[in-house]
Chain A
Amino acid sequence: MSKTEPILRIEDVVKKFGEVAALDHCSFAIEQGSITGLIGPNGAGKTTLFNLITGVLRPDTGHVYFKGEDITGKKPHEIARKGVGRTYQIIRVFPKMTLLENLIVVGKGKESRVIERAMELLDLVKLTDKKDDYASDLSFGQQKLLSLAQVLILDAELILLDEPAAGINPTLQNELMTLIHELNRQGKTFMIVEHDMNVIMGHCGHAIALNYGQMIAEGTCKEIQDNECLLEHYFGR
């Protein structure tokens, strides 16, 4: 792995569902330590892209490289163990397990260390006093935080967040974004799907715009913003 190798590289990826190409010769790279926004209208292929990166789906052609290693077609649990974590648009914590169990089950290594780390993370997302409650007892926003804590105990280097800000109140939203910046400073790389353009513009260094499964624009948020007419053309804003 050379120094310039990006943490994630998508190379000419095609994924078709029947006749519809959800991703159509899509290529781009994500730099280590960045926060990249992924934008595009509904059905642009954003979630499909996440599914391909995490191994939930296999691309028809093309390759996905994580830290220079070809991970195309690997099983989801193998990719997760290599350091790719994700949260889902629809929350997928384990509802009838306690918060602590939700984290312990993901952690690897010595049990006392895992429990200790789980408690640290619960503290980080401010859910310590609910550690013995079922995850199903949490509010939607709290479940999102728990979901993020699960990705953190997995010790993922690259974290894919599918609409982290949607459906949660502004206070919690701010807390969540502050946490993301904090983790970014500690070296985590983020890729964020979001419909709220304020979140993208305010928090992401880079943005990638997808439409009809192709990358139509890429650059710093400033550049994307300046490319407003292009966006308007595609997104009808």
Chain B
Amino acid sequence: MNRLIKGKTLIWPGLAVLLAFLIAVPYFASDYWLTLLVLVFIFTVYASGWNLFSGLTGYTNFGLAWFIGVSGYVSSILIADYGFFWLLAWPIGAIFTSIVSIGVGYILLRIKGVYFAISMVALTEGTRELFGTKYLSPITHGGLGVPFVAGIQLSTLYWAILALAVCTVIICYKVFSSKFGLRLMTIREDEQGAETLGIHTTREKITAFILSAFLVGLAGSIHFTYQNYIDPPFAFNINLTLTAIVMTLFGGVGTVFGQLIGAILFTFIHEILWAEFTQLYMAIFGAILMGLILFFPQGLLGWMKERGILPRVRTL
């Protein structure tokens, strides 16, 4: 497919320099900047994971926090109560989330449009309630939450999430330029039409759902290790989902690099507004968001592609 849809080759050397710079950041930057970048990359993975499934298939996933919460809980409990090493606990959380997602996807991905979105919210809210009840508290510690120290340095955590973010963007790039990506797009375009042209839409969308669950779950595990704490309202917070979606809108739904750009823009605008206009920042932020949706519904990258500033290819 690369022969067909290729971007400007100049982009790659630029990205290599950027990557080298990002790897070197912990050697000269303050903890404040490091923390900010950790958040940027966590949310890059959330937004890219969301976009990988929803941006391509058109099934709006309002239950991203469910992936984050389930994986976050599994890894946090393994570290806190069973003394697992963080590097082992994280993938176990993500794999567990992926496996449960097979069942969830098999049931809920039959539901289309807004009903799917609502059912994912219901799943997230229901799980949040369940994790706080006395029935599950022997495992989840109920509403008290799980405080823990994973014994990981901030710089190590930074490199881990940087590596995950880079892998996620590469996976998105690969998917968006593959036939698998095209098949996912047909689901968004016309699911029934795709089926009568021999595309096994159920299998394709569940595969994308699991892949999204794995990546987002892994970032969720890292997120709560970074916070040293997890509790149900924090883990299954719909704001996590909404933030990822808004970041995707900033950068452009269905683009490869839009989520990274969205995460950076969002985090820095957020940070500046919060520091300068502590009481008004949410109101200002809301106004920016409305303006964005009104004037740039296709997001920054989508807009640049439309204007011809960037080539109109799927691999950007």
Point out residues on A near B: beta carbons under 8 Å. Answer: 54-56, 75-77, 79-81, 85-86, 88, 92-97, 100-101, 104-106, 108, 111, 115, 150-151, 154
Q: State the Cβ distance, B122 to closest chain A Cβ, in Å.
A: 28
CB-defined contacts of B199 to chain A, threshold 8 Å? 77, 105-106
Could you write out 27 A-B pairs with CB less than 8 Å apart?
A55-B196, A56-B192, A56-B195, A56-B196, A76-B192, A77-B198, A77-B199, A77-B201, A79-B196, A80-B195, A81-B198, A85-B196, A88-B193, A94-B186, A97-B182, A97-B185, A97-B186, A101-B182, A104-B4, A105-B186, A105-B197, A111-B1, A111-B179, A115-B4, A151-B197, A154-B197, A154-B198
- Which residues of B are found within 8 Å of A75, using beta-carbon distances? 195, 200
B31 at interface, CB cutoff 8 A: no
Q: A80-B195, A94-B186 are in contact. List 8 more A-B contacts (CB 8 A).
A: A77-B199, A77-B201, A92-B193, A96-B185, A97-B186, A105-B186, A151-B197, A154-B198
Enumerate B180-211 residues with CB–CB distance to A below 8 Å.
182-183, 185-186, 188-190, 192-201
Given A101-B182, A104-B179, A77-B193 contact (CB < 8 Å): no
- For residue B201, which residue of chain A has the nearest CB? A77
A67→B35 CA distance, assembly (Å): 65
- A104 to B177: give the CA distance in the assembly, Å: 12
Candidate in B179, B186, B196, B199 with the most chain A CB atoms within 10 angstroms: B196
Q: Which of chain B's residues have a CB closer than 8 A to the CB of A85?
A: 196-197
Closest chain A CB from B255 CB (angstroms): 13
Q: Is A105 in contact with B192, judged by CB distance below 8 angstroms?
A: no
* Assembly CA distance A44 to B186 (angstroms): 31
Q: Which residues of B contact A (CB under 8 A)?
A: 1, 4, 179, 182-183, 185-186, 188-190, 192-201
Whether A80 contacts B185 in the complex (CB less than 8 A), given A88-B193, A92-B193, comes out as no
Q: List A contacts of B182 (CB < 8 A).
A: 97, 101, 104-105
B193 touches A94 (CB 8 A): yes
Which of A75, A76, A105: most chain B CB closer than 10 A? A105
Chain A residue contacts of B190, Cβ below 8 A: 92-94
4 closest A-B pairs by beta carbon, nearest first, are: A92-B193, A80-B198, A94-B189, A76-B195
* Cα separation A118 to B277 with both chains bound (whole Å): 57
Contact A77 B186, CB 8 Å, known A105-B179, A111-B1: no
Number of A-B contacts (CB under 8 A): 69
Q: Is the CB of A86 within 8 A of B198?
A: no
Q: In the complex, what distance in Å separates the CA atom of A76 from the CA atom of B186?
A: 15
Residue of A56, A80, A96 touching B197 (CB-CB under 8 A):
A80
The answer to whether A106 touches B197 (Cβ under 8 A) is yes
Question: Which residues does chain B contribute within 8 Å of A80, judged by CB atoms?
Answer: 195-198
Q: How far is it, in angstroms, between the C-alpha of A42 and the C-alpha of B193 when the chains are bound?
A: 22
Which of chain A's residues has its CB closest to B1's CB?
A: A111
How far is A97 from B197 in the complex, measured between Cα atoms in Å? 15
Closest chain-B Cβ to A61's Cβ sits at a distance in Å of 23
B185 and A94 contacting across the interface, CB-CB below 8 Å: yes
How far is the CB of A75 from the nearest CB of chain B, in Å?
7
| Bound Cα distance A108, B185 (Å) | 17
Specify which chain A residues have a CB less than 8 angstroms from the CB of B4 in the assembled complex: 100, 104, 115
For A97, list chain B residues within 8 Å (CB).
182, 185-186, 189
Chain A, Cβ-Cβ closest to B180:
A105
Interchain CA distance A80-B194 in the complex, whole Å: 10
Q: Are A95 and B198 in contact (CB under 8 A)?
A: no
Nearest-Cβ distance from residue A48 to partner chain B, whole angstroms? 14
A54 to B198, CA, bound (A): 10
Cα–Cα, bound, A89→B32 (Å): 60
Contact of A150 among B192, B197, B200, B201 (CB under 8 A): B197
User: CB distance B189 to A96 under 8 Å?
Assistant: yes
Query: Which of B179, B188, B193, B200 has the largest number of chain A CB atoms within 10 A?
Result: B193
Q: Which residues of B contact A106 (CB under 8 A)?
A: 197-199
CB distance from B141 to the nearest CB of A (A): 45
Give bound CA distance, A56 to B195, whole Å: 9
In contact, A86 and B196 (Cβ under 8 angstroms): yes
B206 to chain A, nearest CB (A): 14
Q: How far is the CA of A93 from the CA of B194 in the complex (A)?
A: 9
A56 to B201, CA, bound (A): 13
- Most chain-A CB neighbours within 10 Å: which of B182, B183, B189, B198? B198
Determine the distance from Cα of A86 to Cα of B189 in the docked complex, in whole angstroms. 17
Cβ contacts under 8 Å, B198 to chain A: 77, 80-81, 106, 108, 154
